[in-house]
Chains A and B, each alone.
Chain A
């Protein structure tokens, strides 16, 4: 059936059928949901002693569950209804694990097809039927989006990502937004091969995987790799970049995009910009604020996402190895760091939430809706 399962007609039929079956199941057995996994607010990978684990965290930062990972993780994504988390390996990824967080058991292990590598991020379709994975063709780093049926985690197709070295992907109006980082890497060791001629872009793929829109940055920012995304319900796309050009130039690392118009870069003031060290590792959007983190600079920066002053710089706060960031339901953000700390991040500053000795949070903190 491949990607044809996504045509509207089939989609509706499948959804109705699934609702019907789900209804029947509900009469007999409780349908597993995120409540069965303790209703975590966040997912995050971490290094714990000499091993790696995926954690489900409450809004307070309390660990609700943790499950082992075979190697260093990067990001994760959560099924919209079922308590399934998909943990992605660090690039070049050879695995993605589908974990049943209610049972604490491995539900499936995804292996990319021959010659493909996972690139650390993925997303479920809105109805949860399909898992999309960010991938590259190992030789040359041409971008692909892998499609997997979320019932048996069979591979059901793949799309062209519209660029080189895709990294983060996010669901958008039945299709996807892809951050094509533009960097060609050596399939074995992550060595960057094309920094002098890289051309990152933001691509919008429609529900059938067709390239519907693609934008590039102005020429002087061609070495600004677009890597991570945060989306808001009204269609605003915030994107975070990593500068591969002259480190002496403190270029904008945040951009805003509304498909159909040109992306807008959002510089920090000259007194603040160098503190990011050319590196934005994670991004999150909550209402009228955007948070960017830089582990290399040991800072988190806040920018406005407000209607009148979107992209305006708000504040810089210091935290060593600041890494993951996610919207907090009570306003502002939660920031994770490589020292095992979780902090609340607001305009006014950072306040400690929780800290675990012997644990290092990995790049990303994923908010569950």
Chain B
């Protein structure tokens, strides 16, 4: 048995350690990898696998809608990450090819729908244009704007299986080495990151770039200009989830920012404000952009996202001791 004073000392040391640890929540890019990225890709792999399984039982839209939306939701939780395994072989594009201003996806997909069924074999399908694959491809088959010229069921199954395979590969590569390379940034021999700061900057850049994409593309494309609003350009309009995608993207970005640092209150308030505005919006596909009052609401959301990006650049970046690249921010 230990002498009493020593127990006291041990307890005191333990109490002190807990006291010191408690208010300082660990937050940095390794936490982002463990708490945000790996669980997110796990959810994506599970949701897309469930969708693929569901297509084996039925190809009816009403039967597949829950699994389709769950898979899309899972991707919106991860779409902001554009580095690592998701960039190999254009996987992020093979999951969500949007925007597609020239409609190349629909054209290529129509050829698959009416063409040689051999192209639907998994290894052959994986070689098809990324524009003809992924979530928008499924949406065009599940929510067609006009009658399809052939039974879509084989193509629905092939597309869903391909999507699940892509998500599984991304998860496997993160788990099978890429996560370790990010976490060990700056250690001797790390092939990707010469310093820890490089990994932190990469994370920050994902947030800044994704906010720009929300502003310019997800909100900006349907808004068009006041003279020429373009409601038909809203993302995932046919399945009615344009605004939902913006909500999910912001929610995921907020979680990522929080995993990097707890000390960016203005940025966090900026996320909260944009999400509050979206919660109050009763316009799931931004159809109102062509009508002045409803348009104003979407414009205010766009301004809130643009302001949020400024807050992140001004507060989150300095807090992480990083910024947009010296050249990326100012090209010539």
What residues of chain A lie closer than 8 Å to B194, measured between beta carbons?
339, 341, 352, 355
- Is B332 interfacial (CB-CB < 8 Å)? yes
Interface status of B176 (Cβ within 8 A of chain A): no
Q: Which residues of B contact A279 (CB under 8 A)?
A: 331
User: Complex: how many Å from CA A100 to CA B262?
Assistant: 50
Q: A167: which B residues are within 8 A, CB to CB?
A: 332
Nearest chain A CB to B187 CB, angstrom units: 13
- Residues B325 and A281 in contact, CB atoms below 8 Å apart: no
A289 within 8 A of partner (CB): no
Whether A270 contacts B90 by the Cβ 8 Å rule is yes
Which residues of A sit under 8 angstroms from B130, Cβ to Cβ?
Answer: 270-271
> Which of B94, B202, B332 contacts A90 (CB under 8 A)?
B332
Q: Is the CB of A246 within 8 A of B101?
A: yes
Name the interface size band of chain B: 20 to 34
For the complex, give the distance between the alpha carbons of A361 and B328 in Å.
12
Within 8 A of B (CB), among A315-369: 318, 320-321, 323, 337-339, 341, 349, 352, 355, 360-363
Q: Which of B187-220 contact A (CB under 8 A)?
A: 191-192, 194-195, 197-198, 201-202, 205, 216-217
Instruction: Please indicate the chain A residues that have their CB under 8 angstroms from the CB of B99 in the complex.
Output: 248
B293 touches A (CB below 8 Å) = no
Residues from chain B with Cβ under 8 Å of A361 in the complex: 326
Contact among B131, B195, B205, B217 for A298, CB-based, below 8 A: B205
**When chains A and B are docked, how far (Å) is the Cα of A321 from the Cα of B205?**
10
Neighbouring B residues of A120 by C-beta, 8 Å: 332
Q: Is the CB of B93 closer than 8 A to any CB of chain A?
A: yes
CA distance A249 to B100 in the complex (A): 8
Task: Please indicate the chain A residues that have their CB under 8 angstroms from the CB of B131 in the complex.
Answer: 270
Please state if A272 and B331 are interface contacts (CB–CB under 8 Å): no
- The reply on B6 being an interface residue by CB < 8 A is no
- Is residue B87 contacting chain A, with contact meaning CB distance below 8 A? yes
| B65-116 CB contacts (< 8 Å) to partner A | 83, 87, 89-90, 93-94, 99-102
Does A295 belong to the interface (CB within 8 Å)?
yes
Q: Which residue from B100, B201, B217, B331 sits with its C-beta under 8 Å from A363?
A: B331
Residues from chain B with a CB closer than 8 A to the CB of A53 are none
Contact of B83 among A269, A295, A318, A337 (CB under 8 A): A318
The answer to whether B102 touches A338, judged by C-beta atoms less than 8 angstroms apart, is no
Interface bracket on A:
35 or more
- Known contacts being A91-B332, A120-B332, A341-B194, is A281 close to B327, with CB within 8 Å? yes
For A320, what are the chain B residues with a Cβ–Cβ distance below 8 Å? 198, 201-202, 205, 325
Residues of A within 8 A of B102 (CB): 249
Q: Does A274 interact with chain B (Cβ within 8 Å)?
A: yes
A180 on the B face (CB < 8 A): no
A91 to B191, CA, bound (A): 35
B129 on the A face (CB < 8 A): yes
- Chain A residues with CB under 8 A of B90: 269-272
B216 lies within 8 A of A247 (CB): yes
> Which residues on the A side are within 8 Å of B83 (C-beta)?
298, 318
Q: Can you list 25 A-B pairs with a CB-CB distance of less than 8 A?
A: A91-B332, A167-B332, A247-B217, A248-B99, A270-B93, A270-B129, A270-B130, A275-B87, A281-B332, A295-B331, A296-B328, A298-B83, A320-B198, A320-B202, A323-B327, A337-B325, A338-B327, A338-B328, A339-B194, A339-B195, A339-B198, A339-B201, A352-B194, A355-B195, A360-B327
Other A-B contacts than A271-B93, A295-B326, A298-B205, 18 sampled, CB-CB below 8 A, are A90-B332, A242-B331, A246-B101, A248-B100, A248-B217, A271-B90, A275-B87, A281-B331, A295-B331, A320-B325, A321-B325, A321-B328, A337-B327, A341-B194, A349-B191, A360-B326, A362-B326, A362-B327
Residues of A within 8 A of B (CB): 47, 74, 90-91, 120, 167, 227, 242, 246-249, 269-272, 274-275, 279, 281, 295-296, 298, 318, 320-321, 323, 337-339, 341, 349, 352, 355, 360-363
